[in-house]
Amino acid sequence: MVFFSLAFQLIENILGVRLVLGWPTIIIGHVTFSISFVVVTVRSRVAQLDPVIEEAALDLGANELRTFLRITLPLILLGIFSAALLVFTLSLDDSVITFFTAGVGSTTLPLFVYGMIRFSVTPAINAISTLMLLASLMLVRSSLFLDKLGHQKKNT
């Protein structure tokens, strides 16, 4: 919030444009917080790659883009998917970042639920929490399914 306040004051002084907190600042805040988790997760998957496979593709005439799209990306796709699940979970849970970077009129689902819980627990909160739990379980189940597919492809 301090960064956005200083940056918005600087932009207003230089360009004369007044910026306010909203959805873009929420997205920037969550991306800034979550990028390190993505880098660590995907980097561990890239470290497991055998460079001989990429060198073979390059020796057989593929350019760097085709090698990345047809060889490297399918091999690291599970790492990307697991990083996306991790970031989704952390971002959904981190209402503090959202609270400080959200402007007037930009309410996310976690902030809405948090605001409703402060007064009383209603059936609407229970229903929203159940839907969020089911969505999270479906995402975990799909990651397990994709992991199982990845192991089947590796074994054949």
Question: How confident is the model over 14-69, as pLDDT tens digits?
Answer: 998 888 888 888 889 889 989 999 999 999 989 988 889 889 988 998 899 999 99
Domains of the chain: which residue ranges? 2-7+21-155
Q: What is the pLDDT of residues 85-133, one digit of tens each?
A: 888 888 877 777 888 888 787 778 778 887 788 778 888 888 888 888 8
Give the pLDDT of residue 153: 67
Kindly report the pTM of this predicted structure.
Answer: 0.72
Give the pLDDT of residue 63: 92
Per-residue pLDDT at 149 exceeds 80: no
For 2-7+21-155, which CATH superfamily applies?
MetI-like (1.10.3720.10)
What's the token pair of residue 80? 């990307």
CB 57 within 8 A of CB 71: yes
Per-residue pLDDT at 152 exceeds 80: no
Provide the b/e sequence for 23-36 (b: ≥16 CB within 10 Å).
eebbeebbeebbee
